[in-house]
Amino acid sequence: MQFSANLGFLWTDRPLPEAIHAAKAAGFDAVECHWPYAEAAQDVVAALKATGLPMLGLNTLRGNLDAGENGLSALPGREVEARAAIDQAISYAQAIGAQNVHVMAGFAQGVIAENCFVEALEYACEQAGPHGINILIEPLNHYDAPGYFLSTTTHAQEIITRVSASNLKLMFDCYHVQLMEGDLSNRLARLMPVIGHIQFARVPDRGPPIGGEVNYPHIFGVIKGLGWNKPLGAEYKSTQPTDDTLAWMPDLPD
């Protein structure tokens, strides 16, 4: 198996270029991030070239953080801001060679919000397509993100079908999916044709993937058996320094 370090949670005590080098030193095969926009793109590119690590993806901006926003694309009346965030993310992804852009929906519910999200995704896919960039959508669990527009893989699959763009994919985060729906092995098998990226963390506390509700060595074996050959995203939190949380890596299946 190959693994990607999500630098939104790992090595957050250092600038993104330094975190990329730390991920390489720790043995990761790729990196991904959340909101890298404060970093000069050329500095990120230099770190990626120096380490040889690919950047798998990044997120669109959340919006007004003081107001607790967590994405804009499903918010009626915020279409101009949502498209600007999409443009920014695609432009930055193109500059650093990132493969995916996660378009964040935000806190909204109902038919109007769904139509708004679909239109935003249609726009994002159209803009990203010429650059070979995939657009990802991710269901978030309602414990960490109560009221988030997208909370189940079933809903995400319905939206992917409705948009019907070849570069719209599902971000399957095992942590979120286990909390909301469970049945990870069967869901992975059923959804594999629309999955664009897979992430993981311990359930239920989002810590390193040791112990908890999910037997990750088993799940990683399932993923490998389904033919997945891309890095899996380690997106977990810890109160310890990141280098002290990596004991799980040597124990996983080859």
Residues noted as catalytic: 138, 235
CA atoms of 75 and 2, how far apart (whole Å) = 36
Pairing of β 134-137 and β 100-102: parallel
> Token pair of 9, please?
């949670």
Angle at 88 between CA 87 and CA 92, to 5 degrees: 115
* Residue whose token pair is 């988030």: 148
Indicate the SS3 state at residue 135.
strand
The DSSP symbol for 7 reads T
CA atoms of 12 and 9, how far apart (whole Å) = 6
CA atoms of 59 and 170, how far apart (whole Å) = 14
